[in-house]
C-alpha cells in the first residue's frame, strides 16, 4: 500500500482493532477512515487464525484475518504491519547472523513460515535486527514438541523474541521510512469510527462493522 491507503470492512473484535489503529495514529502518520468506493482496501474478518498478505496484493477487498485467539492489540498490529509490507523479522536476509533455526523441531507443514526473504525483494531500511519486534516469532513457534525452533545467537534475547505487547521502536522507525512520515512519533486525532473522513494525505479506510 504505497499510497498509504488501506480500506477495511467487516470488522470483528472492534474494540481491540480500534486500539491498534490508535497506536498507528500515535506513532506514525498513517490514519484510518471508512471505505467509500476505493478499489484497494483491507477486509478485516474473523477467518481461520491470524493471517494477512504482505503488502497490497488483491483488489476489491484484501482479507486480513483476526480469528479466534488473535484478538489482542499487538497481534492486530502484527497483521496490519504485514498488510503495510512487513515480513517476519526472522525472515530477514541477514537473520542467520542473529538466530539459528532448528529445522528438525519445526512442524513440516509450517516450514514455509521460516523461509528467508532475499535482499532483492525486501529491505531493512538500515535498521538493526530487532529481537523485540512485534514481527518476530517466539522461540517455540510452530514447534513439533521436540524443543525450540529459534535459538538467538545472543542468549539474553532467547526469552525476548516473540513479544506481543506492542510495536517496537524499530518497527515504528522502519514503518515510517517508506511511508515518508515526517516524524517518528506523530500524534493524530482519533476519528469517530462511523465518521467519514475526507480523503486527504493519509488513510487506512474502514467500513462500518456488520457484526
166 is catalytic: no
180-200 exposure pattern, b = at least 16 Cβ within 10 A, e = fewer: ebeeeebebeebebeeebeee
| Count of beta carbons in the 10 Å neighbourhood of residue 62 | 21
Q: Which residue has the cell 492489540?
A: 73
Distance CA 98, CA 32 (A): 35
From the list 168, 179, 55, the residue with the least C-alpha distance to 125 is 179
Strands annotated E in 161-211: 203-206
From the list 48, 56, 124, 49, the residue with the least C-alpha distance to 88 is 124
The annotation status of 177 as a binding-site residue, yes or no, is no
The annotation status of 125 as a binding-site residue, yes or no, is no
Q: Which residue has the cell 505487547?
A: 165
The annotation status of 112 as a binding-site residue, yes or no, is no
Q: Angle CA(165)–CA(49)–CA(144) in degrees, nearest 5?
A: 85
Catalytic residue among 79, 166, 174, 195: 79
| DSSP at 53 | -
Binding-site residues for Zn(2+), please? 78, 82, 88
Q: Which residues are catalytic?
A: 79
Amino acid at each position: 500500500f504505497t499510497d498509504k491507503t488501506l480500506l477495511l470492512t467487516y470488522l470483528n473484535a472492534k474494540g481491540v482493532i480500534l486500539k491498534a489503529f490508535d497506536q498507528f495514529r500515535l506513532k506514525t502518520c498513517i490514519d484510518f477512515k471508512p471505505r467509500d468506493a476505493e478499489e484497494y482496501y483491507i477486509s478485516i474478518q474473523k477467518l481461520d487464525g491470524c493471517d494477512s498478505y504482505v503488502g497490497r496484493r488483491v483488489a476489491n477487498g484484501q482479507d486480513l484475518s483476526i480469528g479466534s485467539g488473535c484478538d489482542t492489540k499487538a497481534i492486530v498490529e502484527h497483521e496490519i504491519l504485514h498488510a503495510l509490507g512487513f515480513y517476519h523479522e526472522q525472515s530477514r536476509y541477514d537473520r542467520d547472523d542473529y538466530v539459528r533455526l532448528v529445522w528438525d523441531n519445526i512442524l513440516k507443514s509450517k516450514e514455509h513460515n521460516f523461509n528467508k526473504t532475499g535482499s532483492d525483494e525486501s529491505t531493512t531500511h538500515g535498521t538493526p535486527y530487532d529481537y523485540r519486534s512485534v514481527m518476530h516469532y517466539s522461540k517455540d513457534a510452530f514447534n513439533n514438541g521436540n524443543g525450540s525452533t529459534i535459538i538467538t545467537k545472543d542468549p539474553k534475547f532467547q526469552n525476548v523474541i516473540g513479544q506481543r505487547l506492542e510495536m517496537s521502536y524499530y518497527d515504528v522507525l522502519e514503518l515510517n521510512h517508506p511511508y515518508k512520515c515526517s516524524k517518528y512519533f506523530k500524534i493524530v486525532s482519533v476519528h469517530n469510527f462511523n465518521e467519514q473522513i475526507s480523503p486527504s494525505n493519509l488513510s487506512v479506510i474502514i467500513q462500518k462493522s456488520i457484526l
